[in-house]
Amino acid sequence: MKPDHLNSSAEWDAPFFKVLAKNDTGAGKGHQAGVLIPKALRPYFPVLNGSTSSSNPTIDQRVKAALYDGERFLSVVDTRYQYQSWHDTRSHEARLTDQLGPIHKIAQAGDVLVMQKSNRDPDHFKLTLVKKTSTGFHTLRPIIGRRRWGPLNIER
């Protein structure tokens, strides 16, 4: 994968990333679904209206995602960005979940998920899986450094 595939364009805003943990791939002992969105990445996603409580543990919004395995297009899915309070029984978290199977089933801990928001539709995202065994990963690694998530400044 060439880094310019991930550059911002008329269609897509500047990329941001997350190095996937076991828990993001379903391989963790909790078998969680979807990708945990750290607090630092939440500003890239839609504002969720409402609040959680013990009687209303989840607020969410449907978003569209174009899924890629490197440069290979997989599909467009209707996914969900959610904030979950777990009825206040454990730490609250935001996740991108639902319909991510085409990426979820091939992702492994240590792979990088590059995300971009559409410049035309704030509820449309591009999710590109960069496998740790790919040449694209070796191109991204020096840019990412030791960070686990954040903006991906690849335009030089």
More confident residue, 85 or 60: 60
pLDDT digits 0-9 by tens, 41-58 = 999 999 988 877 777 788
Q: Is the pLDDT of residue 71 over 60?
A: yes
What pTM does this model have?
0.89
Q: Which residue reads 């943990």 in tokens?
A: 21
Please state which CATH class domain 3-151 belongs to: mainly beta
Q: What angle do CA 88, 91, 116 make, to 5 degrees?
A: 120
How does residue 30 score in pLDDT terms, banded at 50, 70 and 90? low
SS (HEC) of the chain: CCHHHHCCCCCECCCEEEECCHHHHCCCCCCCCCEEECHHHHHHCCCCCCCCCCCCCEEEEEEEEEEEECCEEEEEEEEEEEEECHHHCCCCEEEEECCCHHHHCCCCCCCEEEEEEECCCCCEEEEEEECCCCHHHHHHHHHHCCCCEEECCCCC
Answer yes or no: is pLDDT of 1 > 50: no
> Contact 18/41 with Cβ under 8 angstroms?
yes
